Amino acid sequence: MTNRRDFLRNTALGAAAIAAGTKWSDVLFSYPLGKPVGLQLYTLRDDLAKDVPGIIKKVAEIGYKEAELYDFYGKPAAEFAKLLKDNSLAAPSGHYMTQHIKSNWQKHIDDARTVGMKYMVNAILEPNERRSFDDYKKLAELFNKAGEQTLKAGIHFCYHNHNFEFKKYGETTAFDYLLKALDPKLVNFELDCFWVTHAGQSPVAYLEKHPGRFPLLHIKDLKGTPPPSTELDARRGLFAEVGHGSIDWKPLFAAAPKGGMKHYFVEQDDCERPPLESVKMSFEYLKNLKV
C-alpha cells in the first residue's frame, strides 16, 4: 500500500509531468527526492579525451539530466553550452582549482555563466596548499573573496572535500574549521560522501548538524570497509558503483534536504570496468531509490 509521503510525492511529480508534457518514464528517473540524477564528467575523463560529442550523447542516453564539469574539453564555453543543450543536459556546477581563483577568476566566472552554472566548486587542494593549519586559514580568506566575486554574477562558490580535511589539528579538523571560517552567505560545500565515510566520519551527521551548508553532494560508493584514513589514496579497489558498495544511501538522502541539497552528482574516481558501464550501473540504482 502506498504511504502518504509516496502518494504526495508521486502526485506532485505527476502533475508537473502533465503540465510540462513529459513522459512518466522521465518523471520516474528523477528519484530520489524529486531531483534529477547528475554526473561529474571527471568519471569519464579518458573517454572524453577521445570523443567529447559522442560521450556527452551517451551520458544523456543513459538518462542523466545534469552534468558537473571539470573542463570545457578544448571548446569555447558557448560551444560546450550548445553541446549540452543539444543533448538535453544542464550543467549547474563546475570544478575549479585555486590556481583558477588566483588567475583570471573573472573570466572563469563569465564562462561559467555562459554554460549556465549556478555553482563553482573548488575541486581539490594540492599537497603544497594544505601542509599546515595556517594554510587552511589563508585558504578561508581566499575562498571568501572568491565567493564575493561569484555571488555578484549570481553564482555560489563551494568547497569540495576529500578525506585529508578530517585530519585533527588540536581539538578540531580542517573541515570543521572551514565550516566556521567560510561565510555561509559566500561559500558553502559540496559534500563528497565517499571521502567523508573513508575518513571514518558520518555524512548523515554533517548533513544534520549543519543545515543548509551542503547544496551539492557527490554520490560515490566505498568498496568494502577499509580502515579510516585521512591520507588521500584515490587508488583502484576503493571505489564501487553507487548501490554496489558499503554506504547506506537511504538515510543519507533522507538527511540531504536538511543539509540543503539542491543537486547531486555521481562520481567514481576509478572504475574497474568500462566507465560508461559503471555510470550506467550507478544511474540504474539511483533512479529506483525511494527515500
In this structure, what CATH number is given to the domain that contains residue 209? 3.20.20.150
Clarify whether residues 221 and 273 are in a common domain.
Answer: yes
Q: Are residues 10 and 146 in the same domain?
A: no
Residue 286 has pLDDT above 80, yes or no: yes
Of 32-36, 38-42, 74-78, the range with the highest mean pLDDT is 38-42
Are residue 165 and residue 282 in the same domain, yes or no? Answer: yes
Per-residue confidence (pLDDT) for residue 19, from 0 to 100: 41
CA atoms within 13 A on the CB side of 272: 10
Residues 125 and 190 in one domain: yes
Residues 98 and 26 in one domain: no
| Whether pLDDT at 26 is above 90 | no
Nearest-angstrom CA–CA distance, 132 and 109: 29
Average pLDDT value for residue range 237-241: 95
Residues 26 and 51 placed together within one structural domain of the fold? no
Residue 225 has a pLDDT of: 93
Q: Is the pLDDT at 42 greater than 80, yes or no? A: yes
Q: Read off the pLDDT of residues 189-209 as tens digits, 9 standing for 90 and up.
A: 999 999 999 999 999 999 999
> What number is the average pLDDT over the span 244-268?
97
Question: Stretch 120-127: mean pLDDT, rounded?
Answer: 98
Same-domain check for residues 136 and 151: yes
Check whether residue 109 and residue 212 sit in a common domain. yes
Query: Which residues lie across from 68 on neighbouring strands?
Result: 40, 93
CA distances in angstroms from 211 to 5, 35, 181, 204, 261, listed in the order given: 22, 18, 16, 11, 10
In this prediction, residue 135 has a pLDDT band, given cuts at 50, 70 and 90, of: very high
If asked whether residues 42 and 150 sit together in one domain, one would say yes
What would the pLDDT profile of 207-228 be if each residue is shown by its tens digit? 999 999 999 999 999 999 999 9
pLDDT (average), residues 78-103 = 97
Give 263's pLDDT tier (boundaries 50, 70, 90): very high
Distance of CA 271 to the CA centre of its chain: 17
What does the pLDDT read at residue 2?
39
- What's the domain range around 113? 36-287
- pLDDT, tens digit, 9 for 90 and up, residues 151-175: 999 999 999 999 999 999 999 999 9
Instruction: Give the percent of the chain with pLDDT over 70.
Output: 89
Shared domain check, 231 and 121: yes
Count of domains observed in the chain: 2
Mean pLDDT value across the chain: 91
Give the phi and the psi of residue 216 in degrees, each rounded to 5: -125, 140
Q: 150 is written with which cell numbers? A: 561569484
Distance separating alpha carbons of residues 158 and 148, to the nearest angstrom: 12
The whole-angstrom separation of Cα 59 and Cα 89 is 9
> What is the C-alpha separation between 163 and 167, in angstroms, rounded?
8
* Residue whose grid cell is 558503483: 241
Q: 170: left (phi > 0), else alpha (psi -120 to 50), else beta?
A: left
Same domain, 139 and 282: yes
Average the pLDDT over 167-185 and give the result: 97
Residue 236 has pLDDT above 90, yes or no: no
Q: Are residues 20 and 122 in the same domain?
A: no
